[in-house]
Amino acid sequence: MLTLPAIPSPRHEDTLLKRSIAVALTTLTLIACSSGPSTEDVKAAVRKQMTAIAGSQGADMYAREIDAIKVLGCKSADRGYECDVQGPAGVQRQRFIKTDNGWVLAQ
């Protein structure tokens, strides 16, 4: 007797595709959650800090300097990330912590 290999049904293929997509999305979400702040996250944190210190007018005065910020790299640190940040004053290492309201600059 000749035995033929099982041919997956279209329903089986749909299930496999859906599972593959779910696994890929979960993986991407975990990667995104485990990485440090992006350049835009850092800019937002600095704007938030400037607004808290000097009000919105103070933050507006430094808008050009804040827009020039670029994250060069981050590494995991105590309860957050230490990032090398390039700005008008050169490269500085700053610590950022993720909160429910986004990233904040740690003192």
Q: Which stretches within the chain are classed as H helix?
A: 10-34, 39-61, 63-67
Q: Are 35 and 83 in contact (CB under 8 A)?
A: no
Domain boundaries, the chain: 37-106
Q: Give the model's pLDDT for residue 92.
A: 96
Instruction: Using DSSP, state whether 73 is helix, strand or coil.
Output: strand
Q: Residue 66: its pLDDT value, please?
A: 95
Residue 12: predicted pLDDT: 55
Q: Is it the case that residue 27 has pLDDT exceeding 80?
A: no
Average pLDDT score, the chain:
81
Q: What's the pLDDT score for residue 7?
A: 65
Average of per-residue pLDDT across 56-61: 91
Q: pLDDT tens across 76-89, in order?
A: 998 999 999 999 99
pLDDT exceeds cutoff 50 at 31: no
